[in-house]
Amino acid sequence: MEDKKTEKDTSKERSEELFKKIQSLLPSEAGFSKAEFEGPDIIVVVKNIKAVYQDENLVRDIASAIKKKLIIRSENSSLMAPEKAMEVVKQLIPKEANVTNIRFVPDFAEVYIEALKPGLVIGKGGSTLKAIATETSWVPRVLRTPTMDSETIKGVRQLMFNESDFRKKFLNTIGKNINRVITKSEWLKATALGGFREVGRSSLLLETPHSKVIIDCGISPEPGIKGLDANANSENNKAFPYLDSANFSINELDAVVVTHGHMDHMGFIPYLFKYGYEGPVYCTPPTRDLAALLLNDYIKLVQRSGATPLYSEKDVRKMLTHIITRDYNEVTNITDELKLTYHNAGHILGSSTVHMHVGEGMYNIVHTGDMKYGFTRLFDPTSTRYPRIDSLFIESTYGGPSDITPNRHDAEKNLMDTIKRTIDGGGKVLVPLFAVGRSQELQLVLESYLTGENSPYKLDVPVFLDGMILEASAIHTAYPEYLKENLKNRILSNRSPFESDIFEVIKGEREEVFEKGPSIILASGGMMNGGASVEYFKRLADDPKNTLVFVGYNSAGSMGRRIQNGVSEVPLPDENGKLVPIKVNMNIKTVEGFSGHSDRHQLMSFVQKLSAKPKNIFTMHGEEQKCEDLARTLGRLVHADARAPMNLDSIRLK
């Protein structure tokens, strides 16, 4: 008890010393009121915020001095009444900004301004934001309105607004936990909880004597576990990470770090909240929104299949209120000894590699999540710049010796040749896609070839979009800064390719697709374990004029893999749920080169181009032979200790 009291007192003393330093660096006319921890940030409350804004470098200089992110806010008594402040805000922002919503959040003394053109809200050099803050004392936060309507973004932003009181208390608690005083850790251990020598249920536990953090916590994409029932059998349990074998309680977790918004990386997190987890979840802003979309859709799919989901929409909402978003290259303390920095992974919108700095130079880890170190129309390649790498955990989805994808130009030509051949023959082309990532990539490819001035593929046919593709594309338009420069500029100048006239959105009945002539159908359900792609397949499979084109990964047990391997018949449920045989007479085509994962050459090139040479390499997220082979190859290539851990392996890193 005495040790605990001493630790608490020491933490308080250290905090008070830090806050006094901040006060000393502020101009006296600012009227320092208080400072407090809020998540990984420090909030400074002042009576006169105008005095702070008189020196445009002041906040940056103080943040640099204390090595923490600093946010300045006004004391509540200094805030202009919201009704009057609303008038001032509207007067200061030019109409051309197309403001869609303004909300005042007293808990954070902030005003959230949503606009189609945030740059005009910000003003040259931040001049408009400065004017809003100095004239109203409310600190403005600018959010981009998607150019396409998005129910997901509306729902997430409304939830954050409604739960601002809870969020404030939660972040204060997390801030105190992060800034507690601890003794120096003597060891660091990593335990493989899922996604090692397999694809699915990705999860890695990082552990010191004082910290426990999980990187990713997903579920398996296999078809046999779509029920995810509370009464799951042992086969179903292969869907989930081995959390129960890690010898710790959920409440002992300090944080969950998410690399990106695919179900095999974040699909199990709401379950943690259902069973008592109350800590933070870190991810990029787009990952939060995509997670909301996919998790809620997943629950609906499970319910429609007649099974009981493992968690409810209430658990998803609870997870969302515990999320702390971080942008790329933003260094963040997630415990007193662990610093997290996200970098671009090039896989899907907001996808990240994780750089974890442990202790004061004790150890550095890079975890790639899913990554693309190659050309895509959506994103820049995976970042290779890290200050130091002691251990690299690298995905191996396409790490096998034969996993060499074609040149991207050749892949696009192959796809368009297949489409043209089918259309000319009077057939329909069905492309099953993951709603997030491959769908948007294919939209860009089709928009380019079908509308290009000198394109030989100007086909006068509709491109139908079905499933979650439209909603996922809308989320992309809210975060153009995460996209390639040319694509970002198109969205910012109201020329979004996702809203091209060639695309027709299916809402409700699908009969018009079948009644019309030749067409291209982009349908969600990439592995064909469910989703819109399966419904189209049922109607199109019997006709040899039609073509099914796979452009993404199909896991070993998926229906997509079975069709890809040439089965002549598959049993699928009819409208009454009765299984009926579906004959596969349509053409089946696999076009390599569009994956959001790196192929073998790209994985090897990524490791060679890293700015810091890794001492240890651990392969993950790949079938067993691919993980093992890539580990051997990378070990020889860069003279590192490389291996392919199995699930449940614990590795002492330090």
Residue 393 sits in the same domain as residue 530:
no
Does residue 203 have a pLDDT over 70?
yes
**363/89 Cα distance (integer angstroms):** 47
Residue 512 sits in the same domain as residue 582:
yes
| Residue 299, helix vs strand vs coil | helix
Mean pLDDT of the residues in the chain? 91
Residue 530 sits in the same domain as residue 388:
no
| Listed residues 91, 110, 145: the one ending a domain | 145
Does residue 234 have a pLDDT over 60?
no
Cβ-count burial 88-99 (b if 16+ within 10 Å, e if not): ebeebbeeebbb
pLDDT at 9: 62
Per-residue HEC secondary structure of 13-81 comes to HHHHHHHHHHHHHCCHHHCEEEEEEECCEEEEEECCHHHHHCCCCHHHHHHHHHCCCEEEEECHHHCCC
| Listed residues 590, 605, 631: the one ending a domain | 590
Residue 553 sits in the same domain as residue 432:
yes
List Cα–Cα distances, 111 to 42, 141, 523, in angstroms.
Answer: 19, 6, 39
Residue 27 sits in the same domain as residue 135:
no
Tens digit of each residue's pLDDT (9 = 90 or more) over 519-556? 999 998 888 888 889 889 999 999 999 999 999 888 77
Does residue 82 have a pLDDT over 70?
yes
**401/416 Cα distance (integer angstroms):** 28
Tens digit of each residue's pLDDT (9 = 90 or more) over 572-612? 887 777 888 899 999 999 999 998 999 999 999 999 999 99
CATH of the domain at 418: 3.40.50.10890
pLDDT at 232: 44
Inside any domain, residue 154: no
Residue 541 sits in the same domain as residue 634:
no
| Out of 139-143, 235-239, 240-244, 287-291, least confident range | 235-239
Q: Which domain, by its residues, includes 259? A: 164-402+597-642
Inside any domain, residue 32: yes
Residue 114 sits in the same domain as residue 225:
no
> Residue 414 belongs to what H/E stretch?
helix 408-424
Give the percent of the chain with pLDDT over 90: 75
List Cα–Cα distances, 623 to 209, 346, 416, in angstroms.
Answer: 32, 21, 30
Please enumerate in sequence order all residues whose Cβ is within 8 A of that of 12, keeping only pairs 6 or more positions apart, or say none.
none
Note whether 549 and 591 are within 8 A (CB). Answer: yes
Residue 57 sits in the same domain as residue 99:
no
Inside any domain, residue 151: no
Tens digit of each residue's pLDDT (9 = 90 or more) over 418-472? 999 999 999 999 999 988 888 999 999 999 999 988 888 888 899 999 988 999 9
Residue 276 sits in the same domain as residue 419:
no
Q: Within 10 A of 514 (CB to CB), how many other CB atoms are there?
A: 12
Mean pLDDT of 382-395: 97
pLDDT at 437: 86
Residue 209 sits in the same domain as residue 241:
yes
